[in-house]
Chains A and B, each alone.
Chain A
């Protein structure tokens, strides 16, 4: 397992806390993540029910169970990343390097890091309907940054691809990804791609030399 020292921001204080991204998660790690996160998922679900929030407005990943994804980590092409802060899993990401390749014309067919999965711990979610302001932020950013770094490490020049959930599309757009289009093979989710140029700009903006 490799580790990367980073920091994430606490919402209430604005302070940055030391954190670590671990690369090379094993299936067991994902089960531990699920055990850590599921009580909070349950709490959120209860609160949403109690507040009578329309189910269409519930966080879409509320019901996702990470343990189902565990077997994927057996494959060489899959990588699991976990962000740890204050001894808890604050975010998890899974990527793949072989199953998908670039779709944009300029680099079509060239390998990319495909972002299979990215999720932030439920206690970090901002859910206005139940007055939840979330503990930490910048977790998604740090993990996405790491995915772009992985692409560099692999020799893929920073190319990244992903299918965004509808509510996250704006985020990936603003990270400089190109909106390729709705993908019928993925229930019409929009497929985004970060080109080599886009990656260079993204990383340069973040101070990477």
Chain B
């Protein structure tokens, strides 16, 4: 019925030869599922969503809660929540400046991502959809591990609603 496959992979000689081919290409990624999940760059992108996601991710990377960031950046908590959660928010210049300092991101760049500096013609959707649901690789506490497993259960059991084949 099914053939037994070669379990040891290709020869080293072939690997070395093909590795140069692999290297000559910037990427070997395929895009079928990414396309279905709408992760490829669309023709129009929304600057505010990129900004919000970047702030969220940078914050979590630094291990900060929203409250901690608000304190650190001397910004209203509600404003950070707005920025991270709501796509329509247009941040104020001071806010962006303060966030850049607190999140250790170059101010000019963050201004640009926020759409406050001269915007580039295309902002990559790569940045926009940076979903970063996960935390950094700090050790998980028992509770965090439980929470992750609960989350996985929900993910697997409840809705595939967001996933199109």
Do A and B belong to a common assembly?
A: yes
Contacts of A162 in B (CB 8 A): 30, 32
Which single residue of chain A is at the shortest CB-CB distance from B14? A206
Q: A31-B152, A68-B162, A207-B10 are in contact. Are A52 and B109 (CB under 8 A)?
A: yes
Contacts of A50 in B (CB 8 A): 105-106, 109
Q: A72-B163, A187-B40 are in contact. Are A140 and B28 (CB under 8 A)?
A: yes
In the complex, whether A87 has a CB less than 8 A from a CB of chain B is: no
Which single residue of chain A is at the shortest CB-CB distance from B7? A4
In the complex, whether A34 has a CB less than 8 A from a CB of chain B is: yes
A167–B25 touching, CB < 8 Å: yes
In the complex, whether B18 has a CB less than 8 A from a CB of chain A is: yes
Q: A58-B124, A68-B37, A208-B6 are in contact. Are A168 and B162 (CB under 8 A)?
A: no
A140 to B15, CA, bound (A): 11
A22 to B28, CA, bound (A): 19
In the complex, whether A194 has a CB less than 8 A from a CB of chain B is: no
Which single residue of chain B is at the shortest CB-CB distance from A31? B152
Stretch at the interface among B64-72, B77-85, B88-96, B132-140: B132-140
- Nearest-CB distance from B3 to chain A (Å)? 5
In the complex, whether A9 has a CB less than 8 A from a CB of chain B is: yes
In the complex, whether B5 has a CB less than 8 A from a CB of chain A is: yes
A70 contact from B15, B122, B155, Cβ within 8 A:
B155
Contacts of B123 in A (CB 8 A): 55
A59 to B39, CA, bound (A): 13
B155–A27 touching, CB < 8 Å: yes
Q: A118-B28, A174-B21 are in contact. Are A63 and B129 (CB under 8 A)?
A: yes
B109–A67 touching, CB < 8 Å: no
Contacts of B136 in A (CB 8 A): 38-39, 42
Q: A35-B135, A187-B35 are in contact. Are A9 and B165 (CB under 8 A)?
A: no
A116–B127 touching, CB < 8 Å: no
A38 contact from B4, B23, B134, B149, Cβ within 8 A:
B134
A189 contact from B19, B35, B37, Cβ within 8 A:
B35
A116 contact from B9, B30, B58, Cβ within 8 A:
B30
A41 to B160, CA, bound (A): 25
B163–A71 touching, CB < 8 Å: yes
4 closest A-B pairs by beta carbon, nearest first, are A206-B10, A55-B124, A140-B28, A207-B11
Known: A50-B105, A58-B127, A152-B3. 5 other contacts (CB 8 A): A4-B7, A9-B19, A31-B151, A163-B30, A164-B30
A-B contact pairs, 26 of them (CB 8 A): A5-B8, A7-B15, A9-B15, A16-B15, A28-B152, A45-B54, A55-B123, A59-B27, A60-B29, A62-B126, A68-B37, A68-B131, A71-B163, A116-B30, A117-B30, A138-B15, A145-B9, A149-B6, A155-B2, A186-B32, A189-B35, A203-B10, A206-B10, A206-B15, A207-B11, A207-B13
Which positions in A face B, CB cutoff 8 Å?
Answer: 4-7, 9, 16, 21, 27-28, 31, 34-36, 38-39, 41-42, 45-46, 49-50, 52, 54-56, 58-65, 67-72, 74, 94, 99, 114-120, 126, 137-138, 140-142, 144-146, 149-150, 152-155, 162-165, 167-171, 174-175, 186-187, 189, 203, 205-209
